[in-house]
Amino acid sequence: MKNLRGLLLVFLILSFGISDFPQAQDQQGFINLDCGLQANESPYTEPITKLTFTSDADFIKTGKSGKIQNVPGLDYIKPYTVLRYFPYGVRNCYTLSVIQDTNYLIVAMFTYGNYDDLNTHPKFDLHLGPNLWTTVDLQRKVNGTRAEIIHKPRSTSLQVCLVKTGTTTPLISALELRPLRNDTYVPQSGSLKKLFRVYLTDSKDTIRYPEDVHDRLWSPFFMPEWKLLRTSLLSVNASDNEYAIPGDVLVTAATPANVSSPLTISWNVETPDDLVYAYLHVTEIQSLKGNDSREFNIRAGQNVSYGPVSPEESEVYNLFNTSPVKCEGWICNLQLIRTPNSTLPPLLNALEAFITVEFPQTETHANDVVAIKSIETSYGLSRSSWQGDPCVPQQFLWDGLTCEYTNICLHHQESIPCTCDGHSDLSSSELTGLIVPEIQNLTQLKKLDLSNNNLTGGVPEFLAKMKSLLDINLSGNNLSGSVPQALLDKMKQGLKLNIQGNQNLCSSSSCHKRKSSIMLPVIVASLVSLAAIIAGVTLLLVCKKRRTSRGKVLGPSIETKRRRFTYAEVLAMTNNNERVLGKGGFGMVYHGYINGTEQVAVKLLSPSSSQGYKEFKTEVELLLRVYHTYLVSLVGYCDEKDHLALIYQYMSNGDLKQHLSGNSVMSWVDRLNIATDAALGLEYLHIGCKPLIVHRDVKSSNILLDDQFHAKLADFGLSRSFPIGDESHVSTLVAGTFGYLDHEYYRTNRLSEKSDVYSFGVVLLEIITNKPVIDHTRDMPHIAEWVKFMLTRGDINNIMDQKLQMVYDSGSAWKALELAMTCVNPSSLERPNMPHVVHELKECLIYENKRAGDIDTTRSIDINLSSGTDVNPKAR
């Protein structure tokens, strides 16, 4: 018998009841993708496991759908099962949202089924992020295979990539993720790749969900030289042991038929250097009589032993080695040996075996990945190579990126991820529109090339704030205006800036050359005079102090570049407050005109508003220093004795809440556009403003719509700026609207931008469901709790607004719903930031815009695929 090296089975845990186990009917955290299922197909419930499966189309942007044939010999597969195959590109990747540093059981299933009539079984590699997981060889496993690993993601995004290694075409049938307890299946390093998982029985049944709450697949295994023990009255169940071993697995066990012989199991490993972990699950299923006793030692080779073990009824013993073991040669041997004091032979109910897989290649920093993908979405880029990790491994570097690699980046350093700190080349990419602010999130970028596109608008000042940026090429676009002075100053410090070919764009030198124009001296003189006048007026405004009619100082006057109106002018523009638009906590809002043509909304302070001037001052000062397409613009203000007014641009379609509660039906794409607009406004407050601004009162009635149904955020009276520095929150008195208010902020008084994310999540749930935020007639009054409850049923159609009449892309709807539920997570640490929210909503829009007609696709999911390995255990 070959020996084992190292320490095996040296740790014993006697389990106790754990309260936080998922129940059998709870699929929370499960991801079930039917690969190749058409994007417009609704999620379905698999009839045997009752698991809800969805199309994989929302999680990957490449590949084609195919159907396997009813091939003889594939008895465990239903006919016409779909798959996704990848005829183009070397690396094609799924991107899945996960919880960072959480143990996941990851399962991928592969069946060829001659879907292409070529009878050519493929062979290819499977990667997790930038690292090799396993090789899928359907040339050897013609009946299909199942790859399984227990892995802890290092970020909130997980990429599962199929990599072409030869001439055959990679394919995949299903992809599944299940969260596990973090204190189970813990190797010293790396991840656990499954060799086999068996329960010892003469049954033919495979056990998985719902009997196993983690949906582990238990295959039956038994040998003629064993004796079968069976009980129908098992006193333990899955909730009684921390590994949640199903009761159906524990009701049978094997002992050696010869009571004097050991129970011996051996298995092959993939390579002689494999490091092995074994998990033995044991419980006594016989009622011992009189002086009967069962006691045994566990041995692995001549020099490794543990014991004695004396299992008891109602106790589940989970025995495993805490350090990996290297088997001698290709064979691992395990023996359970009866002690001299035992009257009964050893017993074993179930056994799992894994080998460790090291993932040495560190992923690119998550912030860089989010930034690049946001840029991709903003410009509608479609590059087949932009999948998986942007920088690593080097052979799959994304087109247009140059990453500088260090030893830290190329070796296993979990605390120091790689960064995209090289060159971003988006030249000649048919980019249109403005230079998007997401670029500034690539904080380590050294060179940016946006040349030879159709970019318009001005050169953004944020480029000057990117400290690492040394070379900017904006040539060959349609940019206009003047180059920001901050960029010109950085050119004196060595920054390279190329703006050639932008006819309407000028720097200080190019503008200077135009002084020969006939009117230029006159214009310059006029500008100088105007500047002097503005400076004088500004100085007066700064020095002047506002007093009430009683002579009491209320606070310093507000500096502004916008127009200050008298109360008489306010009455004139509103025709003596003739037309009421609405009413809020600040006061009444009236319709008005400036110069008889420009429509405005005038908000007058109510005398009964106790904090009116404070909020008035806050809102004016904030809107004076910020401007954005998706924020309601301040046209002017009135600050005259007891008369305070704010004059805004007029939003002719009112607020979002009115439209949701009205008789008209907003389409799904309109709702997504509105949500995206509002998210972009919040993103600007959180990312584009220094210091960042928290709105504090995000709600559907504060999202206003113009005549084109473009949305803008309004009402900044409660907003707060963070102090300059590294603070992640500020302590402040709680303010906001009941129902939209972040529970964590309410409980701790600690305000952060994640409080806005929570409120936005509630708004997104309103948009999706068209249900009241608070409804005491529901069992779950708050909308987030109600949706969470409804999700346990797995039927999105009862959650979506019935007015939509199911006219929406189901993948887009599911993605939006998952995003909303992530935003309202009770823990602010688990909520996404607004750039991520914007990115996800834009993807929802892409899916909805691609929505096609119904396609009749028969699909099923096989639950009896083989373990995908030839290393099944055998008795010796």
> Which residues share a beta bridge with 336?
263, 298
Taking every pair of C-alpha atoms in the chain, what is the biggest distance, in angstroms?
117
Rounded Cα–Cα distance for residues 198 and 219 (Å): 5
* Alpha-carbon gap, residue 771 to 769, rounded angstroms: 5
CA distances (Å), 173 to each of 37, 58, 168, 860, in order? 10, 15, 16, 10
Do the Cβ atoms of 674 and 680 come closer than 8 Å?
Answer: no
Residue 564 burial by Cβ neighbours in a 10 Å radius (0-12, 13-18, 19+): middle
Are the beta carbons of 99 and 178 closer than 8 angstroms? no
* 331 close to 268: Cβ distance less than 8 angstroms: yes
Q: Are 200 and 362 in contact (CB under 8 A)?
A: no
Residues whose CB is less than 8 angstroms from the CB of residue 612 and which lie 6 or more positions away in sequence, other chains included: 586, 587, 605, 606, 644
- Measuring CA to CA, which residue among 223, 281, 228, 249 is closest to residue 9? 281
Residue with tokens 């003629």: 224
Cα of 11 vs its chain's centroid, Å: 36
Q: Left if phi > 0, otherwise alpha if psi is -120 to 50, otherwise beta: which for 773?
A: alpha
CB 219 within 8 A of CB 197: yes
Q: Which of 215, 697, 756, 801 is catalytic?
A: 697
Q: Which residues lie across from 385 on neighbouring strands?
A: none
Q: Which residue intervals of 94-184 are DSSP H helices? A: none
Instruction: List the structure tokens of 302.
Output: 């001549």
Which residues face 774 on adjacent strands?
Answer: 782
Active site residue 697: yes
Query: Nearest-CA neighbor of 159 among 404, 378, 392?
Result: 392
Please choose, from the candidates 816, 811, 808, 814, the residue with its C-alpha nearest in 3D space to the C-alpha of residue 839.
Answer: 816
Place of tokens 């003596």: 576
Residue 34, φ and ψ in degrees, nearest 5: -90, 100
Tokens 């701790």 belong to residue: 748
CB distance 201 to 219 below 8 Å: no
Distance CA 512, CA 447 (A): 28
> Is 603 marked as a binding-site residue?
yes
Token digits for 190? 């790396």
354 φ, ψ to 5°?
Answer: -135, 155
Q: Which positions make up the binding site for ATP? A: 603
Catalytic residue annotation: 697
